[in-house]
Amino acid sequence: MPCPNRREVLAVVACSLLAAAASAPSFGVVYGTDDRMEPWDLPSDEIWARVALRSNVALIQAASVSCGVDDCVLIPAPTLGEYHDLCADERFYSQLTSAFCSGFLVDRDLLVTAGHCVRNAAECGDAAFVFGYRMLDAGVPQTRFPKSDVYRCQEIVARVESGAIDWAVLRMDRPVDGLQQPLPLRREGVVELDDRVAGLLLIGHPSGIPVKIAGGPEPIGATGLSGATVREALPGCFGSDLDAFTDDLDTFGGNSGSAVVSLDERGDVMQVEGVLARAPADWIWDEGGSCNRVNVCDEATGCLGLWAEVTRATEFAWAVPPACGDGRCDGTEDELSCPSDCLGDLDGDGVEESLDNCPGLPNPDQGDVDGDRAGDPCDCDPADPVVWGPPGEVRQVRVARDAATGESVIQWFPPGEEGSTVLAYDVLRSEVPFDFLGPAVCVESDDGTDRVARDGAVPGPGTVFHYLVRAQNACPAGEGTLGWGTDGTERLGAACPLP
């Protein structure tokens, strides 16, 4: 289709429709070694949990998400192996394929995805946006979500679908509640001419499975992370070679709309460089095994010269106002209009607080001995990269009765601020809702990461059991809070195990 101009884009979007290409792009290829990783595979889990889980969005058919009063559950989907008739030894064979595209948060109520993922108002109405769709461990996917992690598509703000220029800015039905974090966009220049950029990573849902992070063969700094590189600039609709580029990221169908982010030499996320548009075909048929295998292309030459295609962020940044809450103090923001991003230099160390690895305490050289992204004065153990601060309050504690065993089943979500890559949990029970000290019982003490506890005790006549959950980590003061009462005072609870 011919390239529209920006005025045409806005005019057509006002009618909720921009003519789509005749067929969806093909996606999916591995260049050399399969570099897709679970978020916990990365060497600095805190920063990647924040980026991958708080900004990443899975686009899922609304009919596949069942919501109750407090939470939402994914309706079971086929596994990757079933859906694509894969050979049984292919990676992620048994993971569920719930998502049809990927996206990423760019403002409190705006996200970006590929233009071919949501083409018109009807498709917008059929889409749900789910934050935190990930694997809890190697075998268990996240299928239950608090309602604060599930949103609906309200409108298409702007959209283009023309070859490698393939993007859409969508508005959600409400702003996010604060745990999610918008990603900053590149608004000028090109990534390949920015000498601060050490590599690229892609965050999304390959083939619709839980979130993965894909990089490249080259290590970045001393972090051990790998990052892809720009292969060539592509001409497009709005400006010579400044519209799109190709790279060697490992991508699959479902990665459509994934954020391609730049990293600096430390492995820190800088900004979104583009949105994944398309790539060569995902799978090839294995005649001997009578099943499909991943399409592996040469790391040096690609698939007969073809690479993954990325629409540059500068193509759609004009449709996204600088986001208050993205952690960057943009030129249009200041301490009054966006205090969360533009705090100034409150600790007087010469580093603006939104960029400071130790906000609130002086750290002029930004020292971080263990490389966990928490500056040494703010780090509870500056020599241990696994832990950096005490955990926050666990979320969404729920209790249900197991009809088969008669046990109470207690489940919860992790705190928004985990403070460590490894958490344990105490589960307290009391018959008195405002007293978890004297009458408290420790149902579990220092339990692992499964976030489920079972209690076989049964309340006596006229009594009710109440439960609280507390996160813990290896900080010297690593016992998290039990939360706060309605009067604003912090809840107190017994130590576990009880003496």
Question: Per-residue DSSP letters for 279-325?
Answer: -S-SEEEETTTTEEEE-EEBTTTBBTTB-EEEEEGGGTGGGSPPPTT
What values do phi and psi take at 46, rounded to 5? -60, -50
What values do phi and psi take at 366, rounded to 5? 55, 40
For each of the domains in the chain, give its residue range(s) and CATH number, in order of start: 6-319 (2.40.10.120), 395-472 (2.60.40)
> Which two three-digit tokens encode residue 134?
């990930």
Strand order in 466-472's β-sheet?
Answer: 441-447, 424-430, 466-472
In sequence order, what are the beta bridge partners of 245? 233, 310
User: Residues 6 or more apart from 235 whose CB is under 8 A from it?
Assistant: 241, 243
Reference 354, options 380, 384, 322, 383; nearest CA is 322
Check residue 3 and give its pLDDT.
44
The count of other CB atoms within 10 Å of the CB of residue 476 is: 8
Check residue 412 and give its pLDDT.
85
The span from the CA of 153 to the CA of 156, in Å, is 8
Check residue 298 and give its pLDDT.
59
Residue with tokens 């979007």: 13
Check residue 236 and give its pLDDT.
44
Check residue 300 and give its pLDDT.
60
Burial of 442 (0-12, 13-18, 19+ CB in 10 A): middle
Reference 325, options 354, 367, 287, 289; nearest CA is 354
Tens digit of each residue's pLDDT, the chain (499 residues): 344 443 333 333 332 222 333 234 444 445 456 667 787 766 544 455 556 668 999 999 999 999 988 889 999 999 988 988 888 988 888 999 999 999 999 988 999 999 999 999 999 999 999 999 998 888 888 899 999 999 999 999 999 988 778 899 999 999 998 678 888 898 887 777 777 887 788 888 988 999 988 775 555 554 555 555 555 554 444 333 445 554 445 556 667 898 988 877 766 778 899 888 765 556 778 777 788 887 776 566 555 445 567 888 988 988 998 767 666 676 667 777 777 777 777 788 888 777 788 888 899 889 888 877 788 898 999 888 888 889 988 877 888 888 889 999 998 888 878 888 888 999 999 999 889 998 999 999 988 777 889 999 998 898 999 999 999 998 988 889 998 877 778 899 999 986 5
Give the chain's end-to-end CA distance (angstroms, integer). Answer: 73
Q: Dihedral of CA 414/419/423/429: which sign?
A: negative
